[in-house]
Structures are given as C-alpha cells and as structure tokens.
C-alpha cells in the first residue's frame, strides 16, 4: 500500500466517522476532506475541484430552482389539494397520498414536496381519526421511491450520472432508470399498504402530545396596580428563569400583545401574563408579589395560530448549539416551547438542550415568522403557516408546461439535460414563474458543496490507488460467487454506507471501487452504476439515511427503531427487484 493510498483511506474514514457523528455540517466535512487531499498532494487541484464544474452539480442547482417555481406558482399546492378527498379508510388514504407523491418526486425535488404535504397529512389524520405516524413515514418513503424512477428524480441519480461522465461511460438517459425504478416503486407502495402498514406505529406526534399538555400547562396572572414589579423588566422581576414555567405572552390593558416576550420588556399595571408550565408549578406564582392568578386556561386560538413546528436540518448552524446559545429571540424573533427528539419530549431545561439534526422544535412567534423563515437552511418548517405568501396560481399552468418540456425534450431530442434545464430555468425567470427571491431561497449551497466534494473525493480514491485496494474485496467476491455476487455486494455496500452518511457521499465512495473491480474482471460497469444509483437513493432503514426521513421523524413521533422495523424490509425488497431487473436489462 502506497503512502498516498493509506492517507486517502484515512481521510475517507475520518470523513465517514464525522458524517455519522452529526457533529458538523456535511458540507463542511466533505469539503474539509477534499481540502486535506488537495493540500497533501494526493490529487491535483484541477481534478479535485472538477466536481464544482461537473454538469451534474449544475443540473442539481437548476432543478432545485425549477422545483421552487412549482412551489411559488402554487402548482404543488393545487396537486396537494386533490389529496383531501373522501375518507377511503387508512390504507386507501395512505395510497391516495403516496401515489401522487411518488409521481411528483420522479420529476421534482422531493424536499419541498414532503415539507408541503406534512401539514396536509396531519389534517387528513385528524379528520380520519388516525395517528399521523400511520401516514408520514409512507409519505417520505413514497417520495424516495418516486425519485428512483427518472434521472432527475433525485440528486443521487445525477451524482452517479456525473461519475459516469467522468469515467467516459455513455450518459444516463432520462428514463433509463425507470426500468428498475418503476417496479421498485410499485412494489414498494404495495408493501407500504400491506405489511408495512401493520408494522407502522400508531403513535401521536409531538404536536398532539403538546396539545394535551397545554391544558395542564397554561395559567394567566394579572399584574396588580400595587405590584412592586411595575416598571421592572421581565429579567429584573424574576420572570426570566422561573422553575418549570415559561413566560409566553404579555397582553397590555390597552390591547398591545408582546409575543414572544423579551427579557427587556417592562411590566405595566394590569398586564396579563400567560405562562406555560406543569400544573404543580403554578402555585409558585404566589411567591411573586403583586401577581393575581386568573383562572387556569388553555392557550386558545390566538396563541395556537402563532405556534410553529420546525425540524433542525443537517446543514443547520444550530447543530451542536444549546437552545440558550442559539438566541432564538434575537435571531428569529421566536421562543422555544418544547424540543422533541425521536418523537419524545426531552425532560430537561430547554435552554440547556444541545440541538441535533432531526430535533423537532415547537416555537411560539409572531405571524411573520412563517414568511421570513419558511426557506431557512437552519430548519424545515413543517407546520401549517398562517400568513405564508399567496401562490401566483395564474402562473401555475405555464410553470407546469415548462416543467413538462424539461422532462420530455431530453428524451425526444437527445439534448443534454443541463442545456434543457437551463433553458427551462430561463423561461421560468422571464415569465415570472420564478422570482429572484425564490432563487435565493431555493439554491441549496450546502447540498451543492456536498455533491461537488463527493465527486472530488471519488477522483482522489482513483488517483491514489485506494480504489484498487478496496476493489480487491469485490474481485474476491466475483471469483467466489461470480458477477451476480459482486453486483449484490456492490448494492449492499452502497446501501450500508447510505444508511450512515449522505447519499451523494455513499455513491461517490463506492463508484470508483466498483469501476476498478469491473474493469479488472472484464465486466461492464453500467450494471454496477445502476445498482449504486438505486442503493444510494432507496434509503429507508434509518432516519438519517435521507433528509425526508428526518423531516417526518419528529412530526410523526417516530423512534429510530421504527425506521429500522419498517424500512429494512423495504430495503430488502428494493434490492431483490434490482437483482432481478438489472442483470436482465443491462446484462452482466
């Protein structure tokens, strides 16, 4: 083993471990690993940075903007409205959600689709008397299954297409993956409607559990005219760190409402203070002079309309930061009411909780919070948002027509996907189907850095000889079990790595290894590339395996083991379909 190969493997191992730990953003980890390989001289800068100029990276960026146009014009919302039909029973309702979701995800980025449909599914669950956990995981899984059906269905497919381009292989066509993706999606949804439905938990999400606790939690007190607290700030009055209580709102006698409450807000006579806390702590208010408790109550419609549910993203600046250090009041104009992890409320001081990707936060904020932060990279806004921008529905037919052209033209004319996507983007901008503000919201720079860095690390694995060393294992499998066994081993290795790190990273790390092994055995690389694309996309067994899984974990009240129980058989089903279809369609 050469020094370069050993160093490359060490860097890759560190990158994988850091990605698994979730302590640092994925884009920082991936680019840091790439930078280490460049500085050490393992890979030349022009090769290492080739991922940033790869057509796959640019295509992903453009498709993110196309999906935003569909959201801005209300095209997605119009389709979502079709889901709210009659009650077809739990399984029928699940399929009524899953089938259109898979269809949309075949052509549009699935993150905004799932984010938009989470509140819709919550509403369906309430109206049908079912637990949201029965529908939200199938929602995420359907989005993933739909993404396996076309070249543009998921960024992972485009990453594999970029790797194939680097390897001078014939490019993937728009519907080439449909041969394996469509039967996988159909059988996957059949599984979700039968055995998968039986395995799904019937568990309420944090929003429901918090609803129950509010009836115990909330009390109102009035600042008496004789109170010594008048003229003092919330901090000075001792209302900032009450044990087991949280000051949510101050209502002035003149009608002004302070919400959320700042430590610097000054108390006035006849102020009504709304506090959240456990019932047994309400009596502690009597220790504060000049406060007259009113009748204990629930929050009511006014407060309820200003409550937001958000999920911390992998790219968030808040990962590893405590709630207190995050400064939600100053940064977002919001206050944290509760933090849920894996569907359970964390029973410790909220300010001391260190945030992790996938944590669900219940925030109280002004109505403008939704408009301002709905596209934040720090978290996914998954609750219904009052005051959200009104979609420009009159542009929706035009946007859908342009998107349809994007899907059909590469297949009908053979034009490069990037050129067609750029043309579609230009039309969307010129026709005002997409605004400049939408471009700023939708351009996911961290995702693009991960994709480009993954392609660069893949180059380093080949240049250093590390891929040759790892390929020896696949060659041994090929010698023992034949090409079919090597194909299965490639799929399993990709699926396992995808369950632990990002999809793009898994595909980029396995691809050069499989390519070296295929060349050494005299086998075609295309079947292995297809297997890598499917295995890296079809990630169901862990919540961290795909960002839509993470988005539904908190709202659905799911635990890590729920994804293993429901997702692992689906992973096995996808592999079984791949092992049948890939050798038949692409040969070995």
pLDDT bin (cut points 50, 70, 90) of residue 384 is very low
Q: 308 or 277: whose pLDDT is higher?
A: 308
Residue found under tokens 């076309």: 150
CATH of the domain at 330: 3.30.70.1450
The number of folded domains in the chain is 2
Q: Is residue 20 pLDDT above 80, yes or no?
A: no
Please provide the average confidence, as pLDDT, over all residues in the chain.
81
Tell me: pLDDT of 285 over 80: no
At residue 338, does pLDDT exceed 80? no
DSSP state of 301: H
Higher pLDDT, 26 or 55: 55
Q: Is the pLDDT of residue 581 over 90?
A: yes
Q: Can you tell me the distance from the alpha carbon of 586 to that of 523, in angstroms, rounded to the nearest whole number?
A: 11
- Contacts by 345-350 with C-beta closer than 8 Å and gap 24+? 345/206, 345/209, 345/210, 350/246, 350/323
Q: What is the pLDDT of residues 485-535, one digit of tens each?
A: 889 999 998 988 887 677 888 888 889 888 888 888 888 999 999 999 999
Q: Is the pTM of this model over 0.75?
A: no
Average of per-residue pLDDT across 392-398: 84
Query: Are residues 188 and 130 both part of a single domain?
Result: yes
Residue-level pLDDT at 352: 79
In a domain, 408, yes or no: no
Q: Is the pLDDT of residue 179 over 50?
A: yes
Sheet holding 291-293, edge to edge: 257-258, 245-251, 272-277, 218-223, 291-293
183 is a domain residue: yes
Lowest mean pLDDT among 20-29, 101-110, 137-146: 20-29
Same domain, 377 and 488: no
Does one domain contain both 436 and 534? yes
Please determine, for residue 297, whether its predicted confidence score (pLDDT) is greater than 60. no
Radius of gyration of the chain (CA): 26
Is residue 7 in some structural domain? yes
Is 174 domain-assigned? yes
Over pLDDT 70: what percentage of the chain?
A: 84
Nearest to 542 by CA among 357, 380, 375, 362: 357
Torsion of CA 122, 115, 26, 335, to 10 degrees: -70
State yes or no: pLDDT of 192 exceeds 80: yes
Model confidence at 311: pLDDT above 70 = yes
The predicted-structure confidence for 56-73, as pLDDT tens digits, reads as follows 888 888 888 888 888 788
Tell me if 566 sits within 8 A of 194, measured CB to CB.
no
First to last CA, the chain: 30
HSE, CB side, 13 Å, CA atoms: give it for residue 410: 23
444 and 348 share a domain? no
The residue out of 353, 381, 409 marking a domain boundary is: 381
User: Domain containing 361: what range?
Assistant: 306-381
Instruction: Assess whether the previous peptide bond of 155 is cis (omega < 30° from 0).
Output: no
Residues 426, 356: one domain?
no
Q: Please compute the mean of the pLDDT values over residues 287-316 and round it to a whole number.
A: 61
**pLDDT of res. 79:** 66
State the pLDDT at residue 293: 61
Looking at the structure, do residues 26 and 154 belong to the same domain, yes or no? yes
Give yes or no: residues 466 and 525 share one domain. yes
- Look at residue 299 in the predicted model and tell me its pLDDT: 42
The residue that leads in pLDDT, 285 or 63, is: 63
pLDDT at 199: 92
Q: Provide the phi-psi class of 129: left if phi over 0, else alpha when psi is between -120 and 50, else beta.
A: left
Q: Which two tokens stand for residue 303?
A: 């407060």
Report yes or no on 574 lying in a domain.
yes
Which of 357, 381, 405 delimits the end of a domain? 381
414-435 tens-digit pLDDT: 888 889 989 999 999 999 998 8
pLDDT higher than 50, residue 296: no
Helix or strand holding residue 517 (H, E):
helix 503-521
- 268 in a structural domain: no
Residue 305: is its pLDDT beyond 70? no
Residue 385: which pLDDT band, with cuts at 50, 70 and 90? very low
From 328, 355, 381, the end of a domain falls on 381
Do residue 337 and residue 437 come from a single domain? Answer: no
pLDDT of residue 346: 67
Q: Kindly state whether residue 553 falls inside one of the protein's structural domains.
A: yes
Question: Do 377 and 422 share a domain, yes or no?
Answer: no
Residue 186 has pLDDT above 90, yes or no: yes
Say whether pLDDT at 89 is over 80: no
Cβ proximity of 574 and 177 under 8 Å: no
- Determine the pLDDT at residue 331: 84
pLDDT bucket at 387, cuts 50 / 70 / 90 = very low
More confident site: 100 or 499: 100
Q: Average the pLDDT over each of 191-195, 198-202, 347-351, 360-364 and give the range with the smallest value.
A: 347-351
Query: What is the predicted pLDDT for the residue at 7?
Result: 92
93: pLDDT strictly greater than 60 = yes
pLDDT at 227 over 70: yes
Please indicate, yes or no, if residue 165 is contained in any of the structural domains. Answer: yes
Q: What is the pLDDT of residues 342-353, one digit of tens each?
A: 656 566 666 778
**What does the pLDDT average to over 111-138?**
80
Confidence of residue 278 (pLDDT cuts 50, 70, 90): low
Q: Are residues 360 and 425 in the same domain?
A: no
The model's confidence at residue 295, banded by pLDDT at 50, 70 and 90, is very low
Query: What pLDDT was estimated at residue 450?
Result: 85
Residues 201 and 76 in one domain: yes
Note whether 569 and 431 are same-domain residues: yes
- Residue 208 pLDDT: 53
Confidence of residue 133 (pLDDT cuts 50, 70, 90): confident
């Amino acid at each position: 083993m050469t020094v370069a190969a050993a160093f490359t493997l060490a860097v890759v191992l560190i990158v994988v471990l850091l990605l698994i730990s979730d302590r640092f953003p994925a884009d920082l980890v991936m680019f840091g690993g790439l930078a280490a390989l460049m500085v050490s001289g393992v890979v030349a800068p022009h090769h290492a940075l080739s991922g940033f100029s790869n057509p796959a990276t640019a295509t992903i960026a453009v498709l993110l903007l196309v999906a935003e146009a569909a959201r801005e014009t209300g095209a997605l919302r119009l389709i979502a409205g079709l889901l709210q039909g009659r009650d077809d029973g739990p399984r029928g309702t699940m399929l009524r959600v899953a089938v259109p979701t898979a269809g949309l995800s075949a052509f549009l980025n699935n993150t905004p689709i799932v984010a938009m449909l989470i509140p819709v599914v919550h509403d369906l669950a309430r109206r049908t008397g079912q637990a949201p956990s029965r529908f939200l995981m199938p929602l995420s899984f359907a989005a993933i299954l739909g993404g396996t059906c076309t070249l543009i269905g998921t960024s992972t497919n485009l990453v594999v297409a970029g790797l194939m381009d680097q390897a001078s292989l014939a490019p993937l066509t728009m519907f080439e993956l449909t041969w394996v993706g469509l039967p996988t999606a159909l059988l996957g949804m059949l599984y979700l409607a039968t055995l998968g439905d039986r395995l799904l938990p019937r568990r309420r999400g944090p929003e429901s559990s918090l609803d129950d606790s509010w009836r115990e939690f909330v009390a109102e007190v009035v600042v008496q005219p004789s109170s010594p607290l008048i003229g003092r700030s919330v901090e000075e009055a001792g209302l900032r760190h009450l044990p087991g209580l949280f000051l949510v709102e101050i209502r002035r006698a003149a009608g002004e409402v302070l919400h959320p409450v700042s430590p610097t807000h000054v108390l006035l006579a006849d102020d009504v203070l709304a506090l959240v806390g456990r019932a047994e702590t309400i009596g502690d208010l009597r220790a504060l002079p000049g406060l007259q408790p009113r009748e204990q109550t629930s929050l009511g419609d006014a407060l309820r309309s200003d409550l937001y549910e958000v999920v911390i993203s992998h790219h968030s600046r808040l990962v590893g930061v405590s709630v207190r250090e995050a400064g939600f009041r100053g940064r977002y104009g919001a206050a944290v009411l509760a933090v849920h992890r894996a569907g359970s409320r964390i029973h410790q001081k909220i300010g001391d909780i260190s945030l992790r990707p996938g944590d669900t936060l219940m925030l109280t904020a002004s109505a403008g919070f939704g408009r301002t932060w709905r596209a934040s990279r720090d978290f996914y806004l998954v609750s219904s948002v009052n005051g959200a921008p009104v979609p420009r529905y009159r542009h929706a037919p035009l946007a859908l027509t342009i998107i349809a052209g994007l899907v059909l033209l590469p297949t009908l004319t053979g034009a490069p996907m990037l050129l067609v996507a750029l043309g579609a983007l230009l039309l969307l901008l010129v026709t005002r189907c997409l605004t400049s503000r939408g471009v700023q919201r939708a351009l996911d720079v961290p995702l693009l850095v991960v994709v480009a860095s993954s392609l660069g690390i893949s180059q380093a694995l080949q240049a250093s000889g590390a891929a040759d060393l790892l390929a020896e294992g696949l060659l041994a499998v090929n010698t023992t079990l034949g090409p079919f066994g090597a194909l299965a081993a490639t799929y399993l290795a990709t699926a396992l790595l995808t369950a632990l790190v990002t999809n793009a990273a898994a595909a980029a790390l396995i691809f050069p290894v499989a390519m070296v092994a295929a060349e050494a055995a005299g086998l075609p690389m295309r079947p292995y590339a297809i297997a890598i694309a499917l295995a890296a996309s079809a990630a169901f067994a862990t919540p961290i395996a795909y960002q839509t899984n993470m988005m539904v974990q908190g709202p659905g009240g799911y635990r890590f083991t729920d994804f293993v129980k429901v997702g692992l058989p689906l992973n096995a089903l996808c592999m079984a379909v791949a092992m049948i279809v890939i050798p038949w369609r692409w040969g070995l």
